């Protein structure tokens, strides 16, 4: 049973907005942030519960996929998907009905909660909310490992 803070795995475009959000959330908390833009990270398999931070890019073109390819590749591993415990989503309200589409799709497909939606790099209040939500998640997961090493569903 681990009492380490649940790590974040994030994908950020060249703008760096999601990276900045993840770093701000983790700063001073002992929580680690792993960049899915790095091939070695994308090809790794988390050995513990983890949370995804993903942007959405779809702007209304039905031929464009909203989930970033790096996120899709990371989630291709069934063990990685099983250990996912929640999703944080970054979006741009200018995307209209596609705002937060990637985070919402991943949460729905995985059966995991969408923990927080924020716009672009998030505000300081979004960072505070994310820290509180993640601290609650950490507390919920403490002691939930089953005898066979799998995880019981967190109570959020």
**Residue 100, phi-psi category: left (phi > 0), alpha (psi -120 to 50), beta (remainder):** left
Report the distance separating Cα 25 and Cα 80, nearest Å. Answer: 22
DSSP 8-state code for residue 120: T
The whole-number mean pLDDT for each consecutive block of 10 residues of the chain, a chain of 156 residues, reads 83 89 95 96 96 81 75 95 96 79 93 93 93 93 56 48
Instruction: Record the pTM.
Output: 0.85
Sequence-separated (6 or more) residues with CB below 8 Å from residue 1: 142, 143, 144, 145
């Amino acid at each position: 049973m681990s009492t380490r803070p649940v790590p974040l795995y994030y994908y950020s475009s060249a703008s760096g907005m999601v990276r900045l959000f993840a770093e701000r959330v983790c700063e001073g908390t002992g929580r680690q942030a792993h960049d899915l833009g790095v091939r070695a990270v994308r090809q790794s398999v988390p050995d513990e519960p983890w949370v995804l931070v993903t942007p959405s890019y779809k702007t209304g073109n039905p031929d464009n996929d909203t989930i970033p390819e790096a996120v899709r590749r990371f989630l291709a591993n069934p063990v990685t998907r099983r250990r996912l415990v929640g999703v944080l989503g970054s979006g741009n309200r200018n995307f209209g009905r596609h705002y937060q589409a990637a985070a919402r799709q991943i949460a729905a497909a995985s059966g995991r909660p969408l923990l927080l939606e924020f716009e672009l790099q998030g505000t300081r209040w979004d960072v505070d909310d994310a820290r509180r939500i993640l601290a609650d998640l950490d507390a919920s997961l403490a002691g939930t490992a089953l005898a066979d090493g799998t995880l019981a569903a967190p109570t959020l």
